[in-house]
Amino acid sequence: MDDWTMYQITGKQSYIDSFRKKRAFKAGLMGGSLGGIGVLCTSMMASSMPGTRSQAWPPAWLPRRCAGVALLGGILSAGSSWLASRELVGQFVISQWTEGGETVHEGDNGPGSIAASATPVTFTDHSGGVDRTV
């Protein structure tokens, strides 16, 4: 199971932290690669335009510029993804219960909320014959 699903099931902070890191890393890779590709394509288009100086392609500055834009785009994308995913902390699709029957997560708005209106369900685990409350 992925970290988001495990966070939904267990409510442990380590799972949401891992989910946020992976999501930010993926966004950073995507944003950085798109930035580098954008500089490369712009350079290719500008070199073939009429009226421009004829130079050998690729220009000497192109690899450094692509790397710089890719790094900057990656940092900005990863940072914005990390900041945007902080709102996911505390959001549960599955209600989190303690043994006392009260919700564990923040965001419970009292008796009228969805989490407060959910009732615990008891089921029997046929592998061990043990009753468990969820």
Q: What are the backbone dihedrals phi and psi of residue 125, each rounded to the nearest 5 degrees, phi first?
A: -85, 110
pLDDT reading at 5 higher than 80: yes
Q: What is the C-alpha separation between 46 and 69, in angstroms, rounded?
A: 17
pTM given for the model: 0.61
Is there a contact between 44 and 6 (Cβ–Cβ < 8 Å)? no
Q: Whole-angstrom Cα distance, residue 125 to residue 73?
A: 50
Query: Per-residue pLDDT tens for 73-113?
Result: 999 999 999 999 888 887 766 666 555 555 555 444 444 44
Q: How deeply is 122 buried, as exposed, middle or buried, from its count of CB atoms within 10 A (0-12, 13-18, 19+)?
A: exposed
Domain edges within the chain:
3-88, 96-134
